[in-house]
Chains A and B, each alone.
Chain A
Amino acid sequence: MSLTRRHFLVLLPAAAIAWDSIIAGSPEAAPNYNMTDHWWGMLIDVTKCIGCGTCVQACQAENNVPDGYFRTWVERYHVSDWSIENPSVDSPDGGKHGFPSATKEGGKYFYVPKMCNHCADSPCTQVCPVGATFVSPDGIVLVDQKYCLGCRYCIQACPYGCRFLNPETNTASKCTLCYHRITRGLTTACCENCPTGARQLVDLKNPNDPVHKFIETHSVQVLKPHLATQAKAFYYGLDGSVR
């Protein structure tokens, strides 16, 4: 490290100012953020995921997720022969610390990151009795922590297992697509820290978003399409065995 003291004295305030301008403001106050201009989703490239679990750790650090509960997690699949209906799957501690080395030779193995799919036709918001969980105008499924009763109906209704009851707040909790980051022009914590670029935020209302273009020109899948949730977490390279 060869920062001289002079460099430090000049750069530090500049960085602080640059940083402050990023973190200031709420979506309504933020000068550049207009909710109706965006419709958020995520692209997950299964062929790039290395199961390092950095995303799980990053999410936990960014969002103060309690231990043992997961806003995102990674699963490892092993399909040993032609029958894709019988994979063996593991996710030790959500894949947070990576995975122990796979030992069974033969068949195919791969990692699948999972998260809230921010369904456009969300079954969890349908069942919430009070309107504590909702789809925001920019397409994120959120939970109002001050309004949630903790009845857990939404947790039962989510087909993907992405919700949990936060034992510290006694309310339902889940991935917020780092709403507090994306409204400030940043990307989500998991996308930011994924070392291989397997996870990428996408703005489905922005025709110039390269990830949006990718989704429009490549074969992508969503989880449990037969449930018609209009999930917005798109998977590239998803095997038929994935649940």
Chain B
Amino acid sequence: MADPKDAGHLFRMAAVFAAGIIGFLVVRSLFVPESFGQYGHYRGAALAEIAAKPVMFAGHGVCENCHIDVFNVKSNGVHAHVACESCHGPLAKHAADPTTLTPPKIDVAVLCLRCHEADLAKPKTFPQVVSADHSGKVVCDTCHQPHSPKIDSGASQ
């Protein structure tokens, strides 16, 4: 069979391959993140990182802590289940410290119509109007109180 002396170069090549594999394993032990595999094939630490992102919307429960009077008006009207921030925008920063962020002024003409402009695709039971026919150029809050918009609800302007 083959003379082992003639196989010297093959052993050298095998050694190069072995060195490569060992090198790879070393690199692997150095660079694979520690929490990898903790819960599955991913970095376990990612869960905490994602969950630590800042919250931008405070949520409807928080506003009533300070704005109880508005809350009471809204709770008795048809907008009871519309979250404050749906119209007023993200206000978590305001809830944490009102001096850092004042809620921006609302463009009533645009805001109200987004929900209430008539469209064939909106559910038939949903209150909607063709604004041009309904009020012309008159802005919505001239007649409707946004926190309790139904006109005969007794809410003051």
Q: Do any CB atoms of chain A lie under 8 A from CB atoms of chain B in the complex? A: yes
Contact residues of A with B, CB < 8 Å? 1-3, 7-8, 11-12, 14-16, 18-20, 22-23, 26-29, 35, 47-54, 58, 61-63, 76-78, 97-99, 101-105, 109-111, 131-137, 142, 144-147, 176, 179-181, 183-184, 186-187, 189, 192-197
The docked-state distance in angstroms from the alpha carbon of A1 to that of B57 is 22
Stretch at the interface among B3-11, B16-24, B60-68: B60-68
| Chain B, interface SS category | loop
Task: List residues of chain B with CB within 8 A of the CB of A19.
Answer: 58, 62, 92, 95-96
Tell me if A193 and B83 are in contact (CB < 8 A): yes
Q: What's the Cα separation between A31 and B122 when bound, in Å?
A: 42
Q: Known: A52-B115, A101-B118, A142-B50. Contact between A192 and B60, CB under 8 A?
A: yes
Partner pick for B55 among A47, A78, A98, A181, CB 8 A cutoff: A181
A61-B90, A146-B46 known; A193+B85 contact, CB < 8 A: yes
Count, chain B residues at interface, CB 8 A: 53
Question: For B36, what are the chain A residues with a Cβ–Cβ distance below 8 Å?
Answer: 131
Report whether A142 and B46 are in contact in the complex, using a CB–CB cutoff of 8 Å: yes
Q: How far is the CB of A47 from chain B (nearest CB, A)?
A: 6
Chain B residue with the shortest CB-CB distance to A26: B48
How far in angstroms is the closest Cβ of chain B from A147?
A: 6
Take A26-B52, A186-B55 as given contacts and tell me if A98 and B117 are in contact as well, using a CB distance cutoff of 8 Å: yes
Inter-chain contact B98/A12, CB cutoff 8 Å: yes
| Whole-angstrom distance between the Cβ of B54 and the nearest chain A Cβ | 8
A-B contact pairs, 24 of them (CB 8 A): A11-B66, A14-B65, A18-B65, A19-B58, A35-B47, A50-B126, A97-B114, A102-B119, A102-B121, A110-B121, A132-B42, A136-B47, A137-B39, A144-B43, A179-B53, A183-B51, A184-B55, A186-B55, A189-B56, A192-B60, A193-B57, A193-B85, A193-B86, A195-B82
Q: How far is the CB of B106 from chain A (nearest CB, A)?
A: 13
Which residues of chain B come closer than 8 Å to A7, judged between CB atoms? 66
Q: Give the CA-CA distance A54 to B46 in the complex, in Å.
A: 29
B60 and A147 within 8 A (CB): no
